[in-house]
């Protein structure tokens, strides 16, 4: 059974996930412009997916399920809303944003989202995340940056090895010399050595500076160079809690401004269980853009391109006036059609 597989993966996870976690804490007292913009973008991304499924799928339909209230910190009633939301998380877990149903089960699409007997009939649950990138442009930039860093590493290596500096390095530190001598385009990123600080002669000072430049380019190769699907660490236990109640397959769907990618929650758990995948297929980071929360960043390459194209939405400035007269300016999004890949939708979500 699906929910048993998920629970087993979580219990065996090296991340020590507390499945009994209870969410507590005081509500935030004031929203920010960045928070409001991020919320608008998240709502837009959810609508892009919702419309794409309902427009392009003949046998299935999407229903909005997760919380979608427009209330924010600082609004009247927010403290009560926040407390109710915490109680919901502690009772049933984190609701997915969208649920997918068979049209044959609900010919009139009359799903009651507060009816558990209806919810358990869902064939899939989607958690929709958004990212402020054009994925094709990001990839081109990162590919170019990586290529430039590798070329600079090769130039520096050849400069050292082919001249007098190579002889000096071999004499002073044979280990570093051999590492550089044997390095290839594929292994430059694996070089790891402590840069010496020789300074007694002009040649040694020059060699020290060249090794510093080599290290700087290696550091570029070490940086994460992929866009990611971004489940938050704290959400794993809460998503599992919902799954244990309803036993509906769960998926993460990351929406960019040109495409969207999907991966199953089960596959995410399998990937992070293998530490050989860390820094290659996934990384775990404290995300300053996400309120400093610890986030698992899974390479979109292991996901599937579920929306092969998204039309750019219109974006407009908006203003929110707080009770004490403070003004928050943020961005809203409208339009932006997504084009569903039916094969991916059927193979990787419906029949997964």
| 306 band by pLDDT with thresholds 50, 70 and 90 | very high
Residue 248's φ and ψ, nearest 5 degrees, are -110, 130
Checking if the pLDDT of 336 tops 70, the result is: yes
- Beta partners for 167? none
Q: How far apart are CA 42 and CA 341, in angstroms?
A: 21
Q: How far apart are CA 72 and CA 76, in angstroms?
A: 9
**Tens-place pLDDT, residues 13-60:** 988 899 999 999 888 887 889 989 999 999 999 999 999 999 998 899
pLDDT of residue 74: 75
- What residue ranges do the domains of the chain occupy? 2-128+228-350, 137-222
Q: Which of 103, 96, 94, 102 is nearest to 125 (CA)?
A: 96
Cβ neighbors of 198 (< 8 A, separation 6 or more) are: 172, 204, 205, 207, 208
DSSP 347: I
Checking if the pLDDT of 287 tops 70, the result is: no
- Beta partners for 42? none
Instruction: Decide: 217 and 152 in contact? Cβ < 8 Å.
Output: yes
- Beta partners for 294? 286
Q: How far apart are CA 233 and CA 272, in angstroms?
A: 11
Query: Token digits for 269?
Result: 């758990």
Rounded to an integer, the average pLDDT of 212-235 is 91
In this prediction the pTM is 0.87
Checking if the pLDDT of 323 tops 90, the result is: no
pLDDT of residue 248: 98
Q: Which span out of 189-203, 277-291, 331-345 was modeled with the highest average pLDDT?
A: 331-345
Long-range contacts of 86-91 (CB under 8 A, 24+ apart): 86/23, 86/24, 86/25, 89/23, 89/238, 89/241, 90/22, 90/23
Percent of the chain with pLDDT over 70: 98
| 289 band by pLDDT with thresholds 50, 70 and 90 | low
Query: In this predicted structure, which of 67-76, 285-294, 324-333 has the lowest mean pLDDT?
Result: 285-294
Residue located via tokens 């939301």: 85
**Tens-place pLDDT, residues 227-280:** 999 998 889 999 999 999 999 999 999 999 999 999 999 999 999 999 899 888
Checking if the pLDDT of 325 tops 90, the result is: no
DSSP 133-182: S-HHHHHHHHHHHHHHHHHHHHHHHHHHHTSHHHHHHHHH-HHHHHHHHH
Cβ neighbors of 316 (< 8 A, separation 6 or more) are: 331, 332, 334
**Tens-place pLDDT, residues 48-107:** 999 999 999 889 999 999 987 778 887 888 888 889 999 999 999 999 999 999 999 999
Q: Which of 35, 19, 24, 118 is nearest to 292 (CA)?
A: 35
pLDDT of residue 285: 85
Q: Which of 70, 27, 80, 31 is nearest to 323 (CA)?
A: 31
Checking if the pLDDT of 286 tops 80, the result is: no
Q: What is the mean pLDDT of the chain?
A: 92
Checking if the pLDDT of 343 tops 80, the result is: yes
Rounded to an integer, the average pLDDT of 202-222 is 94
């Amino acid at each position: 059974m699906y929910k048993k597989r998920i629970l087993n993966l979580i219990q065996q996870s090296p991340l020590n996930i507390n499945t009994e976690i209870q969410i507590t804490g005081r509500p935030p007292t004031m929203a920010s412009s960045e928070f409001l913009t991020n919320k608008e973008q998240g709502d837009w991304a959810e609508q892009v997916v919702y419309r794409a499924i309902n427009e392009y799928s003949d046998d299935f339909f999407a229903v909005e399920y997760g919380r979608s209230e427009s209330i924010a910190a600082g609004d009247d009633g927010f403290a009560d809303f926040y407390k109710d939301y915490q109680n919901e998380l502690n009772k049933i877990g984190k609701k997915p944003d969208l649920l997918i149903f068979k049209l044959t089960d609900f010919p009139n699409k009359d799903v009651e989202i507060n009816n558990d007997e209806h919810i358990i009939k869902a064939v899939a649950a989607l958690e929709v995340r958004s990212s402020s990138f054009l994925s094709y442009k990001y990839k081109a930039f990162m590919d170019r940056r990586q290529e430039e860093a590798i070329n600079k590493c090769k130039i520096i290596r050849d400069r050292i090895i082919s001249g007098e500096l190579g002889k000096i390095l071999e004499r002073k530190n044979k280990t570093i010399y051999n590492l550089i001598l044997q390095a290839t385009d594929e292994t430059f990123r694996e070089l790891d050595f402590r840069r010496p600080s020789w300074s007694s002669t002009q040649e040694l000072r020059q060699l020290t500076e060249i090794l510093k430049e080599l290290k700087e380019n290696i550091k570029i190769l070490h940086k994460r160079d992929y866009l990611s699907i971004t489940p938050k660490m704290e959400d794993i236990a809460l998503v599992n809690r919902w799954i244990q109640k309803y036993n509906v397959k769960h998926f993460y769907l990351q929406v960019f401004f040109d495409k969207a990618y999907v991966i199953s929650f089960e596959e995410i758990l399998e990937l992070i269980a293998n530490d050989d995948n860390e820094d290659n297929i996934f990384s775990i980071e404290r995300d300053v853009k996400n309120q400093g929360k610890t986030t698992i960043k899974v390479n979109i390459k292991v996901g599937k391109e579920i929306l092969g194209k998204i039309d750019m939405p219109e974006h407009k400035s908006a203003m929110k006036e707080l009770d004490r007269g403070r003004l928050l300016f943020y961005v809203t999004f409208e339009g932006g059609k997504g084009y569903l890949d039916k094969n991916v939708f059927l193979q990787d979500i419906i029949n997964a």
